[in-house]
A and B are shown apart, each in its own frame.
Chain A
Amino acid sequence: MAAKTLSIDGKPITAEEGATVLQAAQEAGIKIPTLCHLDGIYDVGACRLCLVEVAGVPKLLPACTTKVAEGMEVKTTSERLRKYRRMTLELLFAERNHVCSSCVANGHCELQTLGYSLGMDHVRYDYLFPKWAVDTTHRLFGMDHNRCILCTRCVRVCWHIEGAGTKNVSGRGTKSHIITDLNQPWGESDSCTQCGKCVQACPTGALFHKGSTVGEMERDRGKLEFIVTAREKQQWIAAD
């Protein structure tokens, strides 16, 4: 496969054709904030946190779905990017009900961590305070829509790693939400294999092991990578 040469933050980089800017940056040790990206599953560019500047392109582009090109000049940090990333985060917080201090993911939440690292000390938008329910009908897992950021990681692992196809997105705009099967309680789903991959994939406290108490949801993402590596490369090696 042909190699492409490009520069990220002024650093000359060689990446395989077909690689994304995010992959190229990761390989070069350059960190770009992400939320909907999860190693092992395909990207959809849903969260817009990984936005980067590309010379000659007026729009900001998501690093996770933009392929590398010869001679590309990418910038991963700038005042403009910081502003957009913060705004995106604030909108995520304003859209649902996030009470970190009593959340099962407190201390282990990717959204919360990004909030800290991007210096989000307050939200400038009015909170929507929507009324979302908690679904604890499943024997093992629970889903709290109040904390869902619609990254669709759970949907993608469910369809493309487990192959069950239980999870889906329903509704539009602020009414969008994750459903199981034909929008029925999770506990009544026929297709759910109870594998728990979605719970491992979720970046926030939206999906959790039933009975989890505050700050108790720590995920083991290595498990997902392990499965993907095993399937694609026939190598059963634990990710560290």
Chain B
Amino acid sequence: MSKRIVIDPVTRIEGHAKISIFLDDAGNVSDAEFHVVEFRGFEKFCEGRPFSEMPGITQRICGICPVSHTLASAKAGDALMAVNIPPAADKLRRLMNLGQMVQSHALSFFHLSAPDFLLGWDTPPAQRNVFGIIAANKELARAGIRLRQFGQEIIEILGDRKIHPSWAVPGGVRSPLTVEGRERIRLWLPEAFATTDVALDLFKKTLETHQREVQIFGNFPSLFLGLVAEDGTWEHHGGKLRFTDSSGSIIADQVDPQKYFEVIGESVQTSSYLKSPYYLPLGFPAGIYRVGPLARLNVCKRMGVPKADAELKSFKKLGRGAVTSSFLYHYARLIEILASLEYIERYMDDPEILSDYLRADAGINNLRGVGVSEAPRGTLFHDYTVDRNGLLQKVNLIVATGQNNLAMNQTVAQIARHYVRGNEIPEPLLNRVEHGIRCYDPCLSCSTHAVGQMPLQVRLIGADGSILNEVTRG
């Protein structure tokens, strides 16, 4: 028997997640597990419902990324109907997804992560938050908050949640972008670009003093998964699946998302509520892969827009082959914000963007349909099987946090290896484990606990299973 340390963040809303750190007999960290409560019950709950309700139902899965779920769900609906949606509808869905990238990444960077590395790891938790940033650098904090608002505004302009709780629907979208809406978006762009530039400079300076973090915050070989266009350009809502390994070699390419199950297996661990997907040909757990900003930048050859492409070049230099440190998720996030802004800017001058031909109509033409979209946190799969009347028989959802689960475990283990000594549970460990998880921006309510810290409960369990030490925080 070995010792076990349990870190238990008790969330306010969706139950709780906990971390176990396993020690071997010599007292060294051998492994770690980050347990997340997930929505297996949700998949059951949808059975029997008409597929057309799914974009509306699934966006209730999680209050943190409803946009991503509704987009993936609408795409799964397109697949069931076997339709090509009108081009303008595709562009508008993409525009919304880009808005979601901007708002979600801005929240992750400015509100949740920056306090740790800008204010210092061991700053008291009461100050190590967005208010601390406001106190230290009012301009930056304000700019970050406004960048997030910009992303949210795009979502609101398109989806007006009061009127259309589900705007993206099977076959297209429900309402067009208006001229006024477009002008509102256009007006924000210069400021959004400026903020992103500042953040990029800041992060690059941070990197100079944070080589230790780059080394120990989840720096390990793994595969990476993301959508790419046919020519290998960064994708976020279309394209096909690509896997690369840590040397940067492509190991599977242009996999049709409808056939994701030919390359992705799902392992259900009894110790965790989360399904752990893996790259099928390598088996479990050798097929561990990461998704999200870091993975997307690793799998793509170019961003497809000039400013972000220049940044991608410096990013790629940070790794031999692939960039393997999860601390660099932050950098990847900023580059994706930049790319999103450039793509948004392009759409502003696209004459088709105001079109009101937005919805294809059809009955059920496929009994199984998969919708894949890049959520800010990573590749999101909605897989629906229906009867011929369009009632759901089976629902399978693969979410980013599930796919990154194994990588998060490794990250926690790696950090713990540097900070766990004997039976002590030092404060620096808590702060850094918390940040190690934040690198992945997991979609847990605890991770968006913007004010203050993640509530943590740490337990040190001895070889015989008894609790040797316990720390509760938050």
Q: Write the residues of chain A forming the contact surface with B, with a CB cutoff of 8 angstroms.
A: 101-102, 104, 106-107, 133-134, 136-137, 139, 142, 144, 187, 210-216
Q: Cβ of A104: which chain B residues have Cβ within 8 Å of it?
A: 53
By the criterion CB–CB under 8 Å, are B361 and A134 in contact? no
CB of A101 within 8 A of CB of B391, answer no
Instruction: Say which one of B132-140, B166-174, B462-470 lies at the interface with A.
Output: B166-174
Interface contact A214-B165, CB-CB below 8 Å: yes
Of B48, B52, B165, which is within 8 A of A212 by CB?
Answer: B52
**Out of A107, A139, A187, A214, which one reaches B53, CB within 8 Å?**
A214
Q: 8 Å CB contacts to A: which residues of B43-57? A: 48-50, 52-53, 55-57
The answer to whether B52 touches A101, judged by C-beta atoms less than 8 angstroms apart, is: no
Closest residue to A144 on the B side, CB-wise? B50
User: Among the listed A102, A142, A187, A211, which residue makes an inter-chain contact with B56, where contact means beta carbons less than 8 Å apart?
Assistant: A102
Q: A106-B165, A136-B390, A187-B389 are in contact. List 18 more A-B contacts (CB 8 A).
A: A101-B165, A102-B57, A102-B60, A104-B53, A134-B49, A134-B50, A136-B50, A136-B389, A144-B50, A210-B390, A211-B361, A213-B55, A213-B56, A213-B169, A213-B174, A214-B53, A215-B165, A215-B166
Are A213 and B48 in contact, with the CB atoms below 8 A? no
A139 to B362, CA, bound (A): 11
Which B-chain residue is minimally distant from A213 (CB atoms)? Answer: B169
Chain B residue numbers with a CB within 8 Å of A102 are 53, 56-57, 60
Chain B residues with CB under 8 Å of A144's CB are 50
A-B contact count (CB 8 A): 54
CB of A87 to closest CB in B, whole Å: 29
> How far is B52's CA from A9's CA once the two chains are assembled, in angstroms?
46
| A-chain residues with CB within 8 Å of residue B361 when the two chains form the complex | 211
CA distance A73 to B34 in the complex (A): 70
- Chain A contacts for B391, CB-based, 8 A: 134, 136
B313 within 8 A of A: no
Complex Cα distance, B85 from A37, in Å, reads 41
Q: Which chain B residue shows the least CB distance to A131?
A: B48
Instruction: Report yes or no: A213 in contact with B49, Cβ–Cβ below 8 A.
Output: no
Contact A215 B56 (CB under 8 A): yes
Q: Number of B interface residues, CB 8 Å?
A: 22
A214 near B48 with CB under 8 A, answer no
Q: Which residue of the partner chain B has the closest CB to A100?
A: B165
B164 within 8 A of A: yes
- Contact digits for B166-204, partner A, Cβ 8 Å, 1 yes 0 no: 100111001000000000000000000000000000000
CB of A102, distance to nearest CB on chain B (Å) = 4
Q: What residue in chain A is nearest B56 (Cβ atoms)? A: A214
Minimum distance in angstroms from B118 CB to a CB of chain A:
38
**Could you tell me the distance in whole angstroms from the C-beta of B46 to the nearest C-beta in chain A?**
10
Give Cα A102–Cα B61 distance, bound, in whole angstroms. Answer: 11
* Chain B hits for A142, CB < 8 A: 50
Q: Are A213 and B389 in contact (CB under 8 A)?
A: no
The B345-382 residues at the A interface (CB cut-off 8 A) are 361, 363
> Which of chain A's residues have a CB closer than 8 A to the CB of B174?
213, 216
B444 to chain A, nearest CB (A): 22
B77 to chain A, nearest CB (A): 9
25 A–B contacts from the bound complex (CB under 8 Å): A101-B60, A101-B165, A102-B56, A102-B57, A104-B53, A134-B49, A134-B50, A134-B391, A136-B50, A136-B390, A139-B363, A144-B50, A210-B390, A211-B171, A211-B361, A213-B56, A213-B166, A213-B169, A214-B53, A214-B55, A214-B57, A214-B166, A215-B56, A215-B164, A215-B165
Is B166's CB under 8 angstroms from A134's CB?
no
Nearest CB in chain A: distance from B30 CB, A: 45
Are A137 and B389 neighbours in the complex by a CB distance under 8 Å? yes
Q: How far apart are the CA atoms of A55 and B185 in the complex, in Å?
A: 62
User: Whole-angstrom distance between the alpha carbons of A107 and B163 in the complex?
Assistant: 8
The answer for the CA separation of A144 and B57 in the assembled complex, in Å, is 15
Once bound together, how far apart are the Cα atoms of A84 and B125, in whole Å? Answer: 53
Rounded to whole Å, the gap between the CB of B20 and the closest CB of chain A is 35
* Closest partner residue, chain B, to A215 (CB atom): B165
CA distance A215 to B166 in the complex (A): 8
